[in-house]
Amino acid sequence: MQKNGRINYDKLKALREKCVAQTMMLNEEYVSARDKLLRAQQLCPTLDYIDSMLIVCDILILAAGFKLSDCEIDDYCVYQLFMPCVTHSDIVFQYQKLLSSLQVIKNEFPGTELALQFLQSAFSKLSDREKHSEYYFKQDTCLAGSVYA
């Protein structure tokens, strides 16, 4: 009986952490919200859609970091693909995986719509050959400028 009470207590604490994270997301405190969600996940690994919420935080943290610099957001990072030598199939697969993961929480978790917009924008650039080449040119120019600045 004591173990069951502990599980309920941990789940209640996890739900509180999740609620605080949602408020932080509304205030664009993405890093702190992510920390709260990680704590919630630690307390209750089976918490509904916790992985999807963390993906939203990761995308928005990434976007906020690039917003502070002169560089565009790294679309490969949005897709959690870290090698530019990935295939078109890899990009489509990851897009569909992330899209389905975020669609289920888009009306429930703040920031999800914005994360979906970044996801769609990245897919648009990475799946179109002309936009893809333009993206590489901009990234190379930006990186060269920041190295020599």
pLDDT score, position 56: 96
148 three-state secondary structure: helix
The answer to whether 25 touches 64, Cβ cutoff 8 Å, is no
Residue 32 is assigned to a structural domain of this protein: no
Percent of the chain with pLDDT over 90: 52
Rounded CA gap, 148 and 137, in Å? 17
Domain hosting 125: range is: 71-149
- Is it the case that residue 88 has pLDDT exceeding 70? yes
CATH number at residue 120: 1.10.287.110
- Is it the case that residue 110 has pLDDT exceeding 80? yes
Residue 59 is assigned to a structural domain of this protein: no
- Is it the case that residue 27 has pLDDT exceeding 80? yes
* Rounded average pLDDT over 28-51: 96
Residue 65 is assigned to a structural domain of this protein: no
Residue 125 is assigned to a structural domain of this protein: yes
61 three-state secondary structure: helix
